[in-house]
Structure 1
């Protein structure tokens, strides 16, 4: 009688069993399951779980488990652990996992660790000969994906990763170049690992941080700011100027040429990084920008009752004080009605907002809104 074939899938409660940590019970799972049985959202093997005990991982490899078994995305266990905050990559490397496996073009484990902002894992992978210059099928290096995935909350980690990756790249050159807070090549020029695309990303990171600086966590803003300065130095990027918000008292003036540039200028001056503006002028600019962005860029996917309330509030704001000329006000009423039905030219609302602010330079305190966006 033929032996019953083993299961290709792990038990549904496998993660609970890993958490329990009973090694013998975990080994018994594989009396019924193949060594490379899959589980979880991405159909990964037991070796891919960061919670997999070292003793179980060693035992599985000794029994013949595949260290390069891909999950449904093509990632190996080392890729999965590199992208997990819990890490656990050292043992897999010790057992023979390929640190430069490219997952069919999706990138190496170093790409995963860099994208996720895991500084310690990046250090470990580099220490075990991970290639800092490896590219995925899109031609992206680990450094590029780290910068692309950087948010305000991860600036400190990305700055540390950038320093590690640039240092590793410099160390691979035929003639090692000095690393003194900034990497320079012969004649004081940056090493080739730094590209204009990376410099643009650093500038974007700085712009986003400065926009949100005023509302940033006060306990970590200085550390993030210091790390951002480090990124500027590493990539030879001029620091983004700190954002200066309107003081709520002085006349509001837009000096840029053209209403589009004036709208951007007024946005930076009056619109907070979250929540409603303190002045009616700022709220008029904010509402027009939010509605335009939702309808023109996002296709109205998130359009709801709050957006309609914002459109009504806009109409209410531009009527009092120095109202728009009668023909412009009539145009605004018709436009708001169209936009509420997700029709019409949303950019025109931004143009009308600028026109109203120009007519009303003296700050008007904004009432509490009845919408949450």
Structure 2
């Protein structure tokens, strides 16, 4: 019950665009306590930190004994690492003031400063400047991640902080940079799906959505964009009856799903036939499909595709896609 209420707490804090209701969030927090966790290892502290709900975060910090707590075996990192992954500067400051370890590492060996430069949906520099100003170390991984994000801007950042970058430390090979980016930002999808979630596709897809799909715009990875595509199609059909279905949005998403899921190196012929049939059904603009079974089935195939491509693959943004 506490797990479900923690997810409700998260929704009241405005997760995924939901309406913020701070009073109800506080009531739930008082009921479940600051040590409550959900299926993916989130706690009230972690949720408030990455959503940057400052007033309730202050309240939670006052009641928290271990500011760097992480649920063992979960994919969710500590509050500071999750806040850094979202570049939530005000949350970062509060957590650091409360004693969070500046040099802690996630399961890929990334420190908070390294984390600032992963999955960058927003400008990482303000948060990076703050962490460096209070003593965060610039490690080789920080340099690799920064250069992978934006070589020119990261070099300017190093100059701004008067960092003496030795030529031998600079990962000049673009292939090496991209490889580092993919490895360091990957979800351990096999452990997540097969061990933690016991092959529960819904739970695994939920984590992929939370980690890889931005609040708006295209995902940075193919794995995230596949899931965003099917959920965009589901939403348009079920909520709008395909009124807004058009070739510059939903048509492109249909083609994207076809391109990646119709793959005989991953799926057996009978599964490919099913995928083709399902995608074809969803492509009918004048006949919206409103049941969940096709969308859920394709979501399962997306998880299977991720299991066969466990290292995240960069998604090149499509300038013609307007949704």
TM-score between both structures, scaled by the size of structure 1: 0.38
Higher RCO structure (Cα 8 Å, ≥6 apart): 2
Max Rg structure:
1
Higher helix share: 2
